[in-house]
Amino acid sequence: MNQNDTKVEQFGDCLYSNPAGYDYWTDEKSVVLFQTVFSGQEEAIQTVRNSPIFFEQAGPREKIYFNPPDVTAGIVTCGGLCPGINDVIRALVMELHYRYKVPRILGFPFGYEGMVKKSGHRPVELTPDKVAHIMNFGGSILGSSRGNQSTNDMVDTLCLYGVKMLFCIGGDGTLRGAEAIQDEVKKRKEEIAVIGIPKTIDNDINYVQKTFGFSTAFSKAVEAVNCAHEEAKGAPFGIGLVKLMGRHSGFIAVNAALASKNVNFVLIPESDFDLEGKGAFFETLKDRIQKRGHAVIILAEGAGQKFFEDKGEMDPSGNKKLSDIGLFIKDKISDYFKRENQTINLKYIDPSYIIRSVPATAEDSVFCGFLAQNAVHAAFAGKTGCVVGIWNNVFTVMPITLAIAERKVLKPEKSTLWRSLLASTGQPNSMKAIN
């Protein structure tokens, strides 16, 4: 990555005074240093002096590009549900209406499908009264959907309703769709700001420190994990097995384990493991059961996919379909202990849809508000094709292309999070079979 990769596209000079009325403004040239840890003072000095990489800092500008009375804003939510979506919608509407005095805010129902005229859906007008209490509910008041839609049709709809800024709330697939919309808008020489607000329970968006809904997700997951612990210790040779979300990354699984402190094994996509053989998972699990009488296991949904045939199937969002590792491991554990003549009491819990459908926690709700407000600031500053996020605890704006270039994953070989997990659970550094 170089400094050109972090440069956000700008429509032009900002000539209008910002009506938001804040006491202070974010400087247009304010940046956030990408790298904050160095091997020593000399490397830090050389890096900052010779080849620094910065993100643009998010925040309200004193001068803005769009004239608020001329603006119609659009909001769309796509992909799977996630705690905090309604909080983001509410904060967008409140900031647009009260601070920037935007006269019309439209919500497109059922994701990108609602932006295609032939779908039969029509946008709904969002006002402060309509969104005042939606943060008390999970899901999205606008609904959602998966799957690709015609980019031309979506941009036609934006032009039909005179939308000047579109806020796309969603994960990797949604951001790719937003990038396609941005490309078509640019091709038509229209001025429609396209701003992404990253939404993924898995916390796997590139160069975004944390996504909204993640804190709520692993906090709720802890309840299921602690129930599994009670089930496990309440029966002789009890095993509690909990499957959590995490297609490509184990952030929810690891954080839930660290928060619960009742977990003995965590299996994630980023850390390879074998089931049978000396030093493999089942032998390690058996040793734990025989010594302590019970065990709790967290399993991320994307872990252990090597045990299945890759059929190349994709879901409507273009993601690779995963095989059900939870039921697979449950059956394999039962089979293994039968062969070992070891009685066990195995309880399997999958709280995935409960976790993603709950309202956001107080902490997450506050975070959602910051993201939404900074998305509005970015749009009015004339920025487009970008994502708002947080890096080194500072809110940032970066190009969508950078956010979707690759997925963020946990790196066990150099992760302090994984090191803390090993210390908390006591599981071995590796559960690969020793030949």
Residue in the block written with tokens 């640019």: 186
Pair of tokens at residue 283: 């032998």
Active-site residue, from 87, 202, 204, 350: 202
**Amino acid (1-letter code) at residue 50:** N
Residue 397 is classified by DSSP as E
Contact call for residues 189 and 12 (beta carbons, < 8 A): no
Helices (H), 265-324: 281-292
Which uninterrupted H or E stretch holds 75? strand 72-77
Helices (H), 302-399: 325-339, 352-356, 362-380
Contact call for residues 19 and 95 (beta carbons, < 8 A): no
Determine how β-strand 345-349 pairs with β-strand 238-244: parallel
φ/ψ (deg, to 5) at 384 = -150, 160
**Amino acid (1-letter code) at residue 58:** A
**Amino acid (1-letter code) at residue 42:** E
φ/ψ (deg, to 5) at 124 = -110, 145
User: How many angstroms separate the CA atoms of 386 and 398, rounded?
Assistant: 5
**Residue closest to 194 by CA, chosen among 222, 155, 161, 227:** 155
**Residue closest to 420 by CA, chosen among 255, 233, 207, 195:** 255
Binding-site residue ranges for Mg(2+): 172
Binding-site residue ranges for substrate: 200-202, 245-247, 301, 353-356
**Amino acid (1-letter code) at residue 88:** V
Q: Using alpha carbons only, what angle is made at residue 167 by residues 166 and 168, rounded to the nearest 5 degrees?
A: 110
Annotated active-site residue 13? The verdict is no
Residue 381 CA to chain centroid, in angstroms?
A: 25
Residue in the block written with tokens 């020593």: 40
User: How many angstroms separate the CA atoms of 381 and 12, rounded?
Assistant: 9
Helices (H), 145-280: 151-160, 172-187, 214-233, 251-260
Binding-site residue ranges: 80, 146-147, 171-174, 200-202, 245-247, 301, 353-356
Catalytically active residues are: 202
